[in-house]
Structure 1
Amino acid sequence: MKVKDVIQLLDEFAPLSYAEDFDNTGLLVGDAQATVSGILVTLDTLEAVVDEAISENCNMIVSFHPIIFSGLKKLTGKTYVERVVQKAIKHDINIFAIHTALDNAWNGVNAMICKKLNLTNRKILIEKEASIKKLLTFVPVDNAPTVREALFNAGAGEIGNYSNCSFTLEGKGSFNGNEDSNPTIGTKGETHFEKEMQIGVTYHKHKENRILQALFEAHPYEEVAYEISTLDNKNQQLGMGMIGELSSEISEEEFLKFIKKTMQTGCVRHSKLQNKKIKKVAVLGGSGSFAIKAAKAAGADAYVTADLKYHDFFTAENDILLCDIGHYESEQYTKELLVSFLTKKISNFAIVLSQINTNPISYF
């Protein structure tokens, strides 16, 4: 298996096309054509992690956070980023980062937090926009079932918990092929009218290439007529943060003790207690101040995230319990998630969970 094959598997799990624009995901160091000897999974790629990969005979590191975030103008070893890149290149270590692609995935970072906190009835907190597209195509009536099935098999027609969703409308199409044409139906140079079905399907944008390939392969016409549009519909299975419910109401103090123990954090910074019960909980791994408003609008009793600033806590306004558990602590189980996925997909070499704690923050 090559590096590019591993990347393809990860892209099916958390498509890189859904990473945030500010992010730097994908293969950051290495060669996509290199043969993989083993994979080390980590939250951050530090020098010690590269050393660990070397000792474990892993020539590929799958990291949550990207070691290269902005452009590098020099490679002199002056910074920890430069030293990591230098060592990785020297030892032929390939570094791949998944970051916000996994943040936005339905079974990604926030799903893992929900699992650890035993939250049920989970939903996306901030649904992704401009990620659903619509395809309209026009097919001879007799060929419509074949084309529709090909589109379904390629991943079109999935809406929430439903699959094979489409709409068809019968009509009449016309065409006149020029001297260079080779029409499947009709005669070149003559206007032909054909009973056709208009097939409409929606799909997630990362599947567009395979869906179009399926359309072209299944469609009988030499020239396939089709239209693609981006919908304003929000994606119920893609986006930042999640919201779910505890099995029963608990007090604020009980909830704070619960998340401190479960998320293994040395400190929970929180907003003022209001003597309210906690049942509905919003979560967002990493820096989540931008989603406080969304958590409140969703009716969350508590919001678990990280990197809240002084003034962010004022925005609780007695409506919600804001809980900052720490950046590392909120994302620490991401490694387990990636190892579990890759282990199920790959059996011919080792998938190693990094044993290095990369948390740069200590508590006194």
Structure 2
Amino acid sequence: MILRDLIGVLEKLIPAGMQESYDNTGLQIGNTGEEVTRALICMDVTMGVLEEAVTQKCDLVISHHPMIFKPIKKLDFGNEQGLLIAFAVKHNLAVYSMHTSIDKYRFGVSYALARKLNLENIQTLKPEEGVLRKLVTFCPSAQAPALRNALFSAGAGHIGNYDSCSFNIEGEGSFRALEGTNPYVGKQGELHSEKETRIEVAFPDWNKTSVIKSLLANHPYEEVAYDIYPLENSLHTAGLGAVGYLKKAMGANDFLSSLQSCFGNMPLKYCTHEKMIKRVAVCGGSGASLLGTAVSVGADAYITGDIKYHDFQAASGKILLADAGHYETEIQVLQVIKELISEKIPTFATLISETNTNFVKYLK
């Protein structure tokens, strides 16, 4: 399969534009015009992972964490990053990273963690804000259905668990084609009226390029009239973290024991309170910034990684807070990536890396 086509499939589901502003999700290294036949899926790009890719005859590595996170000002083949780049180039390995895009994906990192904890009625903990837009355009009524379908295919018209959502009003548009034009209807120099449909569809900002490209390619007029409005609505199908319910309320100690068992009896850092645990919030990776959100949505417990001392202090008496590890709360996403590719491209081979890239070790 051509690499750009595979990336296109992934980014139709999980656009790179979803990523946080500080991130570097997307292609890290490689030629998008080359064919790839087999992918190794991993958390981090290390020399061990790249060597595993070569051994397993993989020509593509799909990682969660970016191989290149900060801008490179020089290539020094004597340091770790330079060695990784040199090895990838030498062995013709492409590297693609999904990081905060799949963190925000509705069924991504935190959803997988919530499923691991057997939570039910899982929803996004912190939905995306300020990313929704509304497109309004005007199309000859006979061509409106085809244009709507094209906009839906480009990523517009999704509201919650519904797709193909639009609002349509029949009306009449007027225009005069001036010299040098080639009007679809009407004649140059004559005022023309046309029965038109006003089409309204919502879309997230990261789909703007594809939506407008589709609009211009499929609208019959050579001069397309359209408006884009910002919306204040939250986008509940994307965002960070997840929150759901245990099947049965548990005491704090029983919940912690169950949590520890779920993570292979690894040591847990936590602060607790006396409240029964029923509603549980999670965020894979570093989620201390969502502690206040977890409290505000009424969660009884919050599970994440990279918690600092004063975070525990802030949680004390308000919520059970547990640090289950950065790596441990994200590793489930590798299976998510594998299943996504298998579902969309059944003939493309994928492997989950057997190289443990967790840099944190525990003394038991």
TM-score, length basis structure 2: 0.94
Q: Determine the structure 1 residue equivalent to 2:282.
A: 283
Q: Report the alpha carbon displacement of residue 316 of structure 1 after superposing the two structures with TM.
A: 0.8
Amino acid at match of 2:253: E
Q: Determine the structure 1 residue equivalent to 2:351.
A: 352
- Which region of structure 1 is more displaced relative to structure 2, 2-11 or 111-120? 2-11
Q: Report the alpha carbon displacement of residue 177 of structure 1 after superposing the two structures with TM.
A: 0.8
RMSD, matched Cα = 1.7
Q: Report the alpha carbon displacement of residue 100 of structure 1 after superposing the two structures with TM.
A: 0.2
Q: Determine the structure 1 residue equivalent to 2:205.
A: 205
Change (3 A) 1:136 1:79: same
Change (3 A) 1:68 1:216: closer
Change (3 A) 1:351 1:169: same
- Which region of structure 1 is more displaced relative to structure 2, 148-157 or 98-107? 148-157
- Map Cα deviations across residues 41-66 of structure 1 (whole Å, 9 max, x no partner): 00011000010001001111000001
Amino acid at match of 1:31: N
Name the CA distance, whole Å, in 2 between partners of 1:128 and 1:39.
30
Amino acid at match of 1:59: D
Q: Determine the structure 2 residue equivalent to 1:116.
A: 116
Amino acid at match of 1:174: S
Contact 1:265 1:325 in 2 (8 A): no
Q: Determine the structure 2 residue equivalent to 1:304.
A: 303
Change (3 A) 1:77 1:144: closer
Q: Determine the structure 2 residue equivalent to 1:223.
A: 223
Q: Report the alpha carbon displacement of residue 217 of structure 1 after superposing the two structures with TM.
A: 4.3
Change (3 A) 1:213 1:30: closer
Amino acid at match of 2:206: H
Q: Determine the structure 2 residue equivalent to 1:40.
A: 40
Q: Determine the structure 1 residue equivalent to 2:171.
A: 171
Amino acid at match of 2:349: A
Contact 1:265 1:329 in 2 (8 A): no
Q: Determine the structure 2 residue equivalent to 1:22.
A: 22
Q: Report the alpha carbon displacement of residue 189 of structure 1 after superposing the two structures with TM.
A: 0.6
Q: Which consecutive residues of structure 2, in runs of 5 or more, have no partner in the other structure?
A: none
Contact 1:63 1:97 in 2 (8 A): yes
Name the CA distance, whole Å, in 2 between partners of 1:6 and 1:141.
36
The runs of at least 4 consecutive aligned structure 1 residues that moved more than 6 Å come to none
Q: Determine the structure 2 residue equivalent to 1:191.
A: 191
Counterpart check, 1:64 vs 2:64: yes
Name the CA distance, whole Å, in 1 between partners of 2:337 and 2:146.
37
- Map Cα deviations across residues 219-265 of structure 1 (whole Å, 9 max, x no partner): 33222211112212110100010111010101111111112121336
- Equivalences, count: 363
Residue 304 of structure 1 aligns to a residue in which SS? Answer: strand
| Aligned ranges 1:6-21 → 2 under 5 Å | 6-21=6-21
Residue 359 of structure 2 aligns to a residue in which SS? Answer: coil
- Map Cα deviations across residues 116-163 of structure 1 (whole Å, 9 max, x no partner): 111111111111123221110112334334433443344422211223
Name the CA distance, whole Å, in 2 between partners of 1:185 and 1:350.
51
Residue 200 of structure 1 aligns to a residue in which SS? Answer: strand
Amino acid at match of 1:325: A
Residue 53 of structure 1 aligns to a residue in which SS? Answer: helix
Q: Determine the structure 1 residue equivalent to 2:140.
A: 140
Name the CA distance, whole Å, in 2 between partners of 1:337 and 1:141.
42
- Which region of structure 1 is more displaced relative to structure 2, 76-85 or 321-330? 76-85
Q: Determine the structure 1 residue equivalent to 2:182.
A: 182
Amino acid at match of 1:328: Y
Q: Report the alpha carbon displacement of residue 71 of structure 1 after superposing the two structures with TM.
A: 2.3
Name the CA distance, whole Å, in 2 between partners of 1:194 and 1:238.
39
